[in-house]
Amino acid sequence: MDKAAIAAVLEEIGTLLELQGENPFKVRAYHNGARALSALEGDLGGRIAANTLGDAPGLGEALVEKITTLFQTGRLKYYDDLKAGIPPGLVEMLGVPGLGPKKIRALHEQLGVDSLAKLTEACTADKVAALPGFGAKTQEKILAGIRNREAYSRRHLWWDAWHAAEPILAGLRKLREVEQAEHAGSLRRGLETVGDLDFLVAAEKPGPVMDWFCAQPGVEAVTAKGDTKASVRLADGLQADLRVVPVEQFYFALHHFTGSKDHNVKMRSRALARGLSLSEWGLTPKDDPSAGGPGARSVIRARSEDDIFKKLGLHPVPPELREGLDEIARAEAGALPTLLDESDLRGAFHNHTSASDGRATLEEMAAAADALGWEYLGMADHSKSSFQAHGLEEERLLAQVEKIRQLNQSKKFRVHVFAGSEVDILKDGALDFDDSVLAQLDYVVAAVHNRYGQGADEAAMTQRIVRALEHPRVTMLAHLTGRLLLEREGYLVNVERVIDAAVANGKMIELNANPRRLDMDWRHWRHAADKGVLCVINPDAHSPEGLEYVRAGVRVGRKGWLTKEKVFNTRGLKDVRKFLKRAQEK
């Protein structure tokens, strides 16, 4: 069993224990353990053999033993027994908003409810409202939750969430009562998908802000509204939360609602070790009775989040890095990178025109790149095997190359256009064009577009990609796994081996910035870049507007700890030309 599968088992054990009413800290230990295992870099088998698995924080004796058993045998009796004792319907019930382990247990023990169907039945028969601790409103909420659970539990692409959040944030900032407003949560951290929107506002009078928020045109339902906190449901089931705090509390709250759970736990522990208590209210002496409440007397006045980090002896941690991995240890050592910024990009290489499956002409794309102030634009239409995308055969490709050369000579646009191709990697790892054709291009983006039944054969897919990377004409590898976020899993591929092959052959790996892809995943970038892989952030644009996807790519690159130096398309035109020329001469 591999690392991801084992992590999933640990995660499930945690959930099952929770439903069993186990000690919540034990439950958390399993969830933490699952994350710790997922975050582990390198080869799991090697770690087990070297007996160093327990060195990872969060993995103690018991978890190491269970992970080892699962790794070696693929089975775990403890897990099987646990699973056998809990109806699968109870796990499903956790997905209903408002239902947690305690309520589910009560429903199961007192009404024999063990599935969503029986739960619906019990609600309809008014049996749920009669249970102690339940009532008519709870029963109604459960029914609504079951009806809408798919829409409500769905996550949303970062790009979509961003565009839903921007007008609300702009509107909040315009209100007279609002002194400061920000969004927080996974949106601010730049996670590839977002569960809900979090808005944070500093204002002395929350009332008008709350009212404005709940009355927004996009609001379909107000699900909660108190004095300082409100939740609403927007179109598409996207939930948005607003919190209003006093101005002196703003940066404490912003930090609190931005960090992942793990990051916050680590920050609080760090504060405690210094005799301080950190909460969204402020940073107070540990024994101060006002701590953690509205009267909190903070030991510092935070004028930025940086002030909070500074007080705890840390260099400021950018929001994208606050996932609770090792960013705090690195911040303590002053070893955080200066992350890449949107303004660092000078162009991009993987884009399409209407010659294949794009919606705009070469000239329209060049004009859009000019408008963005880019120095260069790489056109890489599909190759002939991608007939579903009207891939270009040799003749059309060479005609396009000629057209690009003429366009550059005409000086019609400021931007320099590079002639490339997104060349299919065929089933056996060969490329879709002969070397004589590839030699006439400025660069080659190699890409897998069909799985040929290799979707489930990791070794075959890995070999296919590695072989392509060994081809002297290939410049960069496109969308490593072919995943489509929230739609389709990527094919199985040994990322580690692909990274090694890229390093060995001096090939770039793309960070495909299309919001539906964001592939290679940010979780691999730090490690890959450390090994020497050069990143290229490509929008995979099929229209002029699509070029802007690079903004999503930069977010994800930042999450992957990438600096400007590690991203190829931050380089100026002169450097890029020289690099590509040298690569083609090899």
Partner DNA sequence: GCCGTTTTCGGCCCGACTGTTTTCAGTCG
Contact at 8 Å (CB) between 16 and 83? yes
The minimum distance between CB 57 and DNA, in angstroms, equals 4
The minimum distance between CB 22 and DNA, in angstroms, equals 9
Of the pair 133, 334, the CB lying nearest DNA is at: 133
The minimum distance between CB 77 and DNA, in angstroms, equals 12
Of the pair 170, 224, the CB lying nearest DNA is at: 224
Contact at 8 Å (CB) between 19 and 80? no
Tokens describing residue 256: 């609190």
d(C-alpha 270, C-alpha 286), whole Å: 12
The minimum distance between CB 518 and DNA, in angstroms, equals 22
d(C-alpha 279, C-alpha 318), whole Å: 19
Of the pair 282, 391, the CB lying nearest DNA is at: 282
Contact at 8 Å (CB) between 266 and 273? no
DSSP state of 315: P
Of the pair 32, 454, the CB lying nearest DNA is at: 32
Of the pair 135, 572, the CB lying nearest DNA is at: 135
Of the pair 280, 422, the CB lying nearest DNA is at: 280
Tokens describing residue 337: 């990178």
Kindly report the backbone phi and psi dihedral angles of residue 231, in degrees, each rounded to the nearest multiple of 5, phi listed first: -125, 135
Q: Which residue has the tokens 């890489």?
A: 380
Contact at 8 Å (CB) between 17 and 27? yes
Q: At what angle are helices 24-39 and 61-73 packed, to 10 degrees? A: 50
DSSP state of 321: G
Tokens describing residue 425: 């990697």
The minimum distance between CB 179 and DNA, in angstroms, equals 18
Q: Which long-range contacts (CB under 8 A, 24 or more apart) does 92-100 make?
A: 92/116, 93/119, 94/15, 94/19, 95/149, 95/153, 96/142, 96/145, 96/146, 96/149, 97/141, 97/145, 97/149, 97/152, 98/138, 98/141, 98/142, 98/145, 99/142, 99/145
The minimum distance between CB 3 and DNA, in angstroms, equals 16
- Whether cis (ω within 30° of 0) applies to the bond prior to 520 is yes
d(C-alpha 413, C-alpha 379), whole Å: 15
d(C-alpha 254, C-alpha 187), whole Å: 13
**What residues line the site for DNA (CB under 7 A)?**
23, 25-26, 28-30, 32-33, 57-64, 97-104, 129, 132-139, 141, 185, 195-196, 198, 224-230, 239, 241, 257, 261, 264-265, 268-269, 273, 277, 279-281, 291-294
Contact at 8 Å (CB) between 330 and 336? yes
Of the pair 196, 305, the CB lying nearest DNA is at: 196
The minimum distance between CB 61 and DNA, in angstroms, equals 5
Of the pair 14, 378, the CB lying nearest DNA is at: 14
DSSP state of 297: -
Of the pair 253, 379, the CB lying nearest DNA is at: 253
Of the pair 39, 576, the CB lying nearest DNA is at: 39
The minimum distance between CB 383 and DNA, in angstroms, equals 44
| Largest interatomic CA distance in the chain | 80
The minimum distance between CB 133 and DNA, in angstroms, equals 6
The minimum distance between CB 64 and DNA, in angstroms, equals 6
Tokens describing residue 363: 């000239």
b or e along 59-96 (b: 16 or more beta carbons within 10 Å of the residue's beta carbon)?
Answer: beeebbebbbbbbeeeebeebeebeeebeebbbbbeeb
3-state percent helix, strand, coil for the chain, nearest multiple of 5: 50, 15, 35
Of the pair 61, 81, the CB lying nearest DNA is at: 61
Of the pair 42, 60, the CB lying nearest DNA is at: 60
The minimum distance between CB 494 and DNA, in angstroms, equals 28
The minimum distance between CB 94 and DNA, in angstroms, equals 7
Residue 479 burial class via C-beta count within 10 angstroms: exposed 0-12, middle 13-18, buried 19 and up: buried
